[in-house]
Structure 1
């Protein structure tokens, strides 16, 4: 019994499958505009409400703004005036102190919270959601809540709590010596849960085998955090430092609602000073110069952190 061998099937040259790269290019051809179509509404809002006002602020910073009379060119006179102002230097110092305190305070507290609530159980999910509530609460509500708790008399909530350990009542936001620290505590309380969530995402990306190997080697909990957790979270720390620092430099609402720069200018920051110069005193040119200086400082900080991060990773 003979078995016929199957004749080889020849595929025409025109029927040969196209390369994978060519198929992908053919599928994407003519559709490059689809992502931009979805981004268009957000881009329009950004351009109209952010980039155009930024360009106008830069233009007004070198002009004497006179509504209905026409602006006049003054060059760098506005920058000279605001840089030579004692009020601006004091506000800049308060801004730096507040930004540093809020940045490191929220990062340390957020890191500790992330270590405490890391896990997959339902109880931890509820605790994480409850801890994140300060972030979603409107900042005006947060400021009013802390203003009530900071009531300077002995009947205030925080004064009653510290009275339990024998400490006398404090003026908090009404005392020039404690007002800035009180605002920093409010910012830390609100910013730490946001940092906690980013730390949790970073902790999820650390290889669990490293913890197991460290445990086998007899490393304690503190050593595992020091030699495994912290190195694994180095990129997260860099990102959070930039975000928290920018958040600290742009502090306005809590200061404006809690103290409005008082008492005696002890909590005056650059943002509240710009607001007063531009909208209360109608010195829009000088206020715009202050805003440009604040933007430049934030930009320099961000670029320096990114360059330092790239140098370490190289």
Structure 2
């Protein structure tokens, strides 16, 4: 009789514990379903059609993928994306690591400086892009050209020159991404045992050796997170290019997502834009899984 009384109570308790978290997650899951996963599924579906408004969509199979992947402008955009993504990712990690080393500590002044350094991350990318457009102003009145004038270097057209536009965009991307990496690396540095530094100093170990044999191994999990996030963000670069150059001049800064945007909203090729986006999704997932796998193998070793 006791068993028959307590068993239902346990089932009710288990059901409440199982349902309550889902009730809290339900609003976020519903928003994600409506505004993310359903549009994503619709985009995958449209990638197999020639979208013809008011005339009905026509099934074309993999023709959109073949046409997009064979487009030389899309191939150039993929190359620009790789250069820009790798450059921004590595540059932001390096600068973020240096900032974390410089701003590590518990002093109140350091907290204020860290807050100021982190501002580019929480500022809208469109606003940051406009500020950098002003700094890149191609005459001597521009902030950067004015500073170069003191060095005897003439005004440079950073954004209007095909040879410098991509690198100028990369600098802005590094400036925006480095503070975010700094915060993650600072969290990793907080867990480093200080006694190791003291023992190394007593043994006369150089600064480079301390960084190599103490700091870097200790913050490997933080670096793994930074690399994973960089792999995701690197291929999805869009707003920086859209605000600064929109792929110009002469397509020298056109990237994967600006090409998909042009196909969808300028040439009204919804099927081609969807195919380009689906390929980007697959490559991003593959790259993320690969980075995670390599990170886990490194942690095991």
Q: Same fold (TM over 0.5)?
A: yes
1:41 CA drift (Å)? 1.0
Q: TM-score, normalised by structure 1?
A: 0.90
Please list the CA deviations of residues 27-65 of structure 1 after superposition, one character each: whole Å capped at 9, or x if unmatched: 655222111111111111111111111111111111111
- Taking the aligned partners of 2:122 and 2:288, their CA distance within structure 1 comes to 25
Unmatched tracts of structure 2, length 5 or more = 3-8
Is 2:208 the partner of 1:222? yes
Residue correspondences, number: 294
Note closer, same or farther for the CA distance 1:285–1:211 as it changes in structure 2 (3 Å cut). Answer: same
1:298 to 261, 277, 284: 284
More deviation in 62-71 or 214-223? 214-223
Is 2:258 the partner of 1:272? yes
CA RMSD of aligned residues (A): 1.8
More deviation in 213-222 or 128-137? 213-222
Note closer, same or farther for the CA distance 1:174–1:204 as it changes in structure 2 (3 Å cut). Answer: same
Partner of 1:98: 84
Note closer, same or farther for the CA distance 1:153–1:291 as it changes in structure 2 (3 Å cut). Answer: same
1:286 CA drift (Å)? 0.5
1:241 CA drift (Å)? 1.2
Q: TM-score, normalised by structure 2?
A: 0.93
Equivalent residue of 2:286, what SS? helix
Q: Which has the larger Rg? A: 1
Alignment map for 1:186-205 (pairs within 5 Å)? 186-205=172-191
Is 2:37 the partner of 1:51? yes
- Taking the aligned partners of 1:310 and 1:27, their CA distance within structure 2 comes to 37
Is 2:240 the partner of 1:254? yes
Is 2:273 the partner of 1:287? yes
- Taking the aligned partners of 2:10 and 2:214, their CA distance within structure 1 comes to 41
Partner of 1:308: 294
- Taking the aligned partners of 1:45 and 1:60, their CA distance within structure 2 comes to 22
Equivalent residue of 2:153, what SS? coil
